[in-house]
Amino acid sequence: MYLFVILAIFWPALCGVGIWLLPAAREDRRLRSALTVGALIVEVLLSVSLCLCNGYELTLLELTPTLHIFLRIDAIGCMFAVLMSAMWLLAAVFALDYLGHDAHERSFQAFYMTVLSALIGQCCAGSMITLYVFYELMTMLSVPLVVHERTPQAVAAGIKYLIYSIFGAMMGLLGIFFFNHYLGTVTFTPGGAAAASGAPVGPVLAIAFMVILGFGTKAGMFPMHGWLPTAHPVAPAPASAVLSGVITKAGVLAIIRVIYFLVGADTIRGTWVQTAFMILTLITVFMGSMMAYGEPLLKKRLAYSTVSQVSYVLFGLSCLHPVAFAGALLHVIAHSTIKDGLFLCAGAYIHQTGKTYVRDLRGIGKEMPVTTWCWTIAALGLIGIPPTGGFVSKWLLATGSLEAGLGVLGIIGPVVLIVSALLTAAYLLPVTINGFFPGSDFDYDKLEKKEGGWRMLVPVILLAAAVVLTGVMAGPLMDAVTAAMPTIL
């Protein structure tokens, strides 16, 4: 089992190194592409098989008697690992056509693979220091994905992304020092360690809030969200898809570990930390939706949408209630499939037509009907229309908020979620409406079929199907989520 867990974490990185060592010659592209997709299929299978190792623990390195590089496999980590590897595979298939004539495709594939290893390592982290190591690796290795185009705008966005991420991670690093001092451990324990440690509550709460803000940077939570609308539009569409749908969830997972596995929900419940955290998430939900509504650039509109939608998840976590927690985890799954699908559809529009603004997409449904139908299904999921997964997760978030006994915030929360859903419809559905019904003044003679190849279509079709299946099959997903909750709530 030792070798299996190590392989599940480091297999993508090994393949990334292999891709980098392959010749950069054009004729070797097919081999690199086959290695990338084949390695990711294997990684999906390894991630699924990690579920069989639930409860397994492994110490890789002892730094001090209390600080270890320590792995522990649990249900929540396995869920994130399977989701991340599956989304990584679909975006990689899309990239085969999207980056088909890109001079830097080899470096993209190499870094793309190594970032996944860092993410899987974070999913398997058994202590905060282990999580921090993989978290920082993920940040450093993902910068080349942002700056891939090598334009001044891409480099500036990459620097901004790096500064925000390092600042957020430093707050996490301070948390390691202080938690180790007050709690005597930074090992993740279901239910947290604060209550049993006898540590003074005031300092522990202050440290917890600081760390939530730090890891909230990666999740795009206000006031640390500024990197996201800058980085996503300049990155290639496959990178934008995983930055939005997957890498933001690294921040979510880190916050879950701090709240539910280190400090403890009981320690935070009813305190100023819960109130402040919830207020920040609701501000982010509303602000992100408003910014997306007013943004004309397609990919930047989706980036602001991510700012809003990931804070739906954080809002559910801040409720510290089983139903809201289940809704948060289901929204992790729903948002990943939806937002990956939307960014890949946007990438297909840009790749096939060169159009980057929403106003220029009139008639796109006539030219690219399959892609636009997939966009529409994903948009309905993000709005929260049944029977999509987005509806189920948002229903649980609103229900959990009302059941949690949070007073005024418990009522304001569902209202903000509904207003955000209306704004989501307002900024996503115009692509569908104007795409299929461009109006009588539109020059239909200029229309021509521009649908992408099968490597572009298959991922967006599968993601659109997943948007619906996560709603239809919500029962089994709920069973998997609720199985992990008794130990942490």
What pLDDT sits at residue 25?
54
Long-range pairs of 420-425 with CB within 8 A, sequence gap ≥ 24: 420/285, 420/286, 420/288, 420/289, 420/308, 420/312, 421/383, 421/384, 421/394, 423/289, 423/290, 423/292, 423/293, 424/289, 424/292, 424/305, 424/308, 424/309, 424/379, 424/382, 424/383, 424/384, 425/379, 425/383
Average pLDDT along the chain:
89
CB 119 within 8 A of CB 84: yes
Residue 26 pLDDT level (bands cut at 50, 70, 90): low
Residue 68 phi/psi, 5-degree rounding, is: -125, 145
Q: pLDDT tens across 238-285, in order? A: 999 998 999 999 999 999 999 999 998 889 999 999 999 999 999 999
What pLDDT sits at residue 27?
55
User: How many secondary structure helices (H) and strands (E) does the chain include?
Assistant: 21, 2
- In this model, does residue 154 exceed pLDDT 70? yes
CB 397 within 8 A of CB 327: yes
pTM: 0.94
Q: Is 264 left (phi over 0), alpha (psi -120 to 50) or beta?
A: left
Q: Which residue has the higher pLDDT, 138 or 58?
A: 138
What pLDDT sits at residue 82?
94
- In this model, does residue 24 exceed pLDDT 70? no
Residue 483 pLDDT level (bands cut at 50, 70, 90): confident
- 205 CB neighbour count, 10 Å cutoff: 19
Q: Any idea which residue has 């950069």 for tokens? A: 24
